[in-house]
């Protein structure tokens, strides 16, 4: 074994890293245990779908996740004739994780944006806008899950 290999092996032997979703890992307790507030909008549906995809559908809920979504469509590309050719869709989700008794365990803000081109037909523009909203909700849900996994070790 080379000197570098020996140093790497020695360094990893002392590491206390545990995969988050490993049996007994801190995030394993989140799987199937988070009941996400029911969606009332298309954005909410897309967000909840991704959260449940990542965390599992609640079999025996121990936690409740509530959220508030806000989005803003902003024109960013203009032609000399003042026609918008590109849009950004900015989104924010404020969220809070509580236990079943209502005690706050974690909270945060997820924010990001996606874009789409407004050139082409009306149908293609509407499809691109809908796809941008879908992608944005997936990005925001992934941010929420990342924060939950990072704080999972401190959850009861």
What's the pLDDT tens digit per position in 98-151?
Answer: 999 999 999 999 999 999 998 889 899 899 999 999 999 999 999 999 999 998
pLDDT average, residue stretch 54-72 = 95
Output the six-digit token pair for 100: 């079943």
SS3 105: strand
The dihedral region occupied by 131, where left means phi > 0, alpha psi between -120 and 50, and beta the remainder, is alpha
Domains in the chain and their CATH numbers? Answer: 29-154 (3.30.160.150)
pLDDT average, residue stretch 48-53 = 98
Q: Give the number of other Cβ atoms within 10 Å of residue 102's Cβ.
A: 7
64 pLDDT exceeds 90?
A: yes
What's the pLDDT at 16? 65
Sign of CA dihedral 35, 27, 71, 96: positive
Cβ atoms of 8 and 15 closer than 8 Å = no
Instruction: Report phi then psi at 101, rounded to 5.
Output: -85, -10
Between these two residues, 146 and 154, which has the higher pLDDT value? 146
18 pLDDT exceeds 80?
A: no
The region of weakest confidence among 6-10, 20-24, 49-53, 146-150 is: 6-10
48 pLDDT exceeds 60?
A: yes
10 pLDDT exceeds 90?
A: no
What's the pLDDT at 2? 57
20 pLDDT exceeds 60?
A: yes
């Amino acid at each position: 074994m080379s000197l570098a290999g020996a140093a790497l092996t020695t360094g990893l032997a002392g590491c206390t890293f545990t995969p988050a979703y490993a049996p007994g890992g801190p995030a394993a307790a989140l799987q199937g245990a988070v009941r996400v507030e029911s969606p009332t909008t298309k954005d909410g549906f897309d967000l909840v779908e991704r959260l449940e995809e990542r965390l599992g559908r609640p079999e025996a809920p121990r936690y409740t996740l509530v959220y508030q979504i806000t989005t803003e469509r902003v024109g960013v590309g203009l032609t000399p004739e003042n026609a918008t050719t590109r849009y950004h869709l900015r989104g924010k989700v404020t969220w809070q994780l509580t236990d079943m008794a209502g005690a706050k365990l974690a909270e945060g803000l997820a924010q990001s944006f996606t874009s789409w081109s407004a050139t082409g037909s009306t149908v293609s523009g509407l499809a691109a806008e809908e796809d941008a909203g879908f992608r944005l909700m997936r990005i925001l849900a992934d941010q929420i899950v990342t924060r939950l996994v990072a704080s999972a070790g401190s959850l009861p």
